[in-house]
């Protein structure tokens, strides 16, 4: 039996013969027996050793059993120690009551019946062991809880620091993109304007030059136009992230808007056939600039990811009585299955390895604009190939809830 498992029994009696008899009765129990012939000797043992059970006589010289029990109970360590009185006298009901008041848990009359003494001491010893095990488990549990709490607090602190660092880095990036876009916009606009002026002079015959010069100026104008749109996307995403205020809506003919936009895109591509199917006079309360940008982004993608040409379908119609639907479908290279869930993410490029990829902002900006209109945008993948983007918008702007009048 290890020291931590030891159950110490203190036997107190001024008659050594009784102590020997108790020792013989309890010899078979898995306990350590300690003998004391007086109250003072008992107190000395109590100060030095952890005692589980005190088995003592009531009638003793100097310090009797009642006084010793009261003194034991006053010590914090022995507030719950089992005290068993053994006595042949002073066993009236008042004596028993006094014994219980000073801390006794049981009485054993003399002559002692060995089986009863052994059974009671064994029961209290088992209770002591169980209580000590529970206390140890409780301390271990508290230690583990403290460790887990400390680890959780440390992890939370690290997560908070990482989040703040990420937010700071994102803010720095957004500030840089906004400033860079503004700074790039002016020289690109000037470059494109000069290329257009020179191209017109060549067309009018004011300046003669080889055909490669005309082709080069046309390429400069096309690439400057592409760069202008990319810069516009950077400015848009910065504006939407910084100030995502609800759009200024007005009654807009979406069919007319789509017709004008499709006409402009038809002039930009010779490989693609753009087919428009629009319900006439389809009026909805939207921000016409924002919705035109959404459709422009979708048409840009349709052309970009249909490198071999083909038909692009544009649909404008009612989804139901309260919603309109705008859809753009291409028959191009499509989107890989594993990338479809992320295509509306900021700076996400489904074809990052492809030279056709841009900044990965067109769909992100479109989703932001549609969300500000209380609408939805989704991607579908028809069995015939390509991708179909569907935008659903409410016909009327949502009316804010009014404040109840008191």
Fold of 3-112: Rossmann fold (3.40.50)
Work out the pLDDT band at 336, boundaries 50, 70, 90.
Answer: confident
- Output the pLDDT for position 78: 83
361-404 pLDDT, tens digit per residue, is 778 888 888 988 999 999 998 888 889 999 999 999 876 544 44
Q: Residue 131, Cβ neighbours under 10 Å: how many?
A: 12
Give the CATH number of domain 161-242; options: 3.40.50.1220, 1.20.272.10, 1.10.287.130, 1.20.140.10. 1.10.287.130
pTM of the model: 0.47
- Contact at 8 Å (CB) between 347 and 360? yes
Residue percentage of the chain with pLDDT more than 90: 28
Of the candidates 337, 241, 251, which has an alpha carbon nearest to the alpha carbon of residue 288? 251
Give the CATH number of domain 250-394; options: 3.20.20.70, 2.30.30.110, 3.30.565.10, 3.90.1170.50. 3.30.565.10
Domain boundaries, the chain: 3-112, 161-242, 250-394
For the cut 80, the answer to whether the pLDDT of residue 271 exceeds it is: yes
Length of the chain: 406
């Amino acid at each position: 039996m290890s020291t931590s498992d030891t159950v110490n029994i203190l036997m107190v009696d001024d008659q050594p013969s009784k102590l020997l008899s108790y020792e013989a009765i309890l010899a078979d129990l898995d306990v350590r027996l300690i003998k004391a012939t007086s109250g003072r000797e008992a107190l000395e043992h109590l100060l030095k050793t952890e005692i589980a059970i005190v088995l003592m006589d009531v009638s003793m010289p100097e310090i009797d059993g009642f006084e010793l029990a009261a003194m034991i109970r006053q010590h914090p360590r022995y507030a719950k120690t089992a005290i068993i009185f053994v006595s042949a006298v002073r066993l009236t009901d008042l004596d028993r009551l006094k014994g219980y008041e000073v801390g006794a848990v049981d009485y054993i009359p003399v002559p002692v019946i060995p089986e009863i003494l052994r059974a009671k001491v064994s029961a209290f010893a088992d209770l002591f062991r169980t209580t000590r095990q529970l206390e140890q488990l409780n301390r271990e549990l508290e230690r583990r809880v403290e460790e887990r709490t400390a680890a959780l607090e440390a992890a939370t602190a690290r997560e908070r620091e990482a989040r703040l660092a990420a937010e700071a880095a994102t803010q720095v990036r957004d500030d840089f993109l906004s400033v860079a876009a503004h700074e790039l916009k002016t020289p690109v606009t000037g470059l494109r304007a000069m290329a257009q002026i020179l191209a017109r002079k060549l067309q009018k015959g004011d300046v003669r030059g080889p055909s490669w010069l005309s082709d080069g100026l046309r390429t400069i104008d096309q690439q400057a136009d592409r760069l202008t749109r990319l810069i516009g996307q950077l400015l848009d995403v910065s504006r939407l992230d910084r100030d995502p205020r609800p759009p200024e809506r007005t009654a807009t003919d979406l069919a007319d808007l789509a017709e004008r936009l499709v006409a402009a895109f038809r002039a930009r591509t010779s490989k693609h056939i753009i087919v428009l199917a629009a319900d006439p006079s389809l009026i909805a309360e939207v921000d016409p600039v924002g919705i035109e940008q959404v459709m422009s982004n979708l048409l840009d993608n349709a052309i970009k990811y249909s490198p071999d040409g083909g038909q692009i379908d544009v649909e404008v119609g009612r989804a139901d009585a309260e919603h309109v639907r705008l859809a753009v479908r291409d028959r191009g290279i499509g989107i890989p299955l594993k990338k479809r869930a992320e295509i509306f993410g900021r700076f996400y490029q489904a074809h990052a390895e492809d030279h056709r990829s841009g900044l990965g902002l067109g769909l992100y900006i479109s989703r932001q604009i549609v969300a500000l209109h209380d609408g939805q945008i989704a991607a579908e993948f028809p069995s015939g190939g390509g991708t179909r983007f569907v935008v659903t918008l409410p016909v009327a702007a949502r009316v804010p809830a009014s404040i109840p009048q008191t």
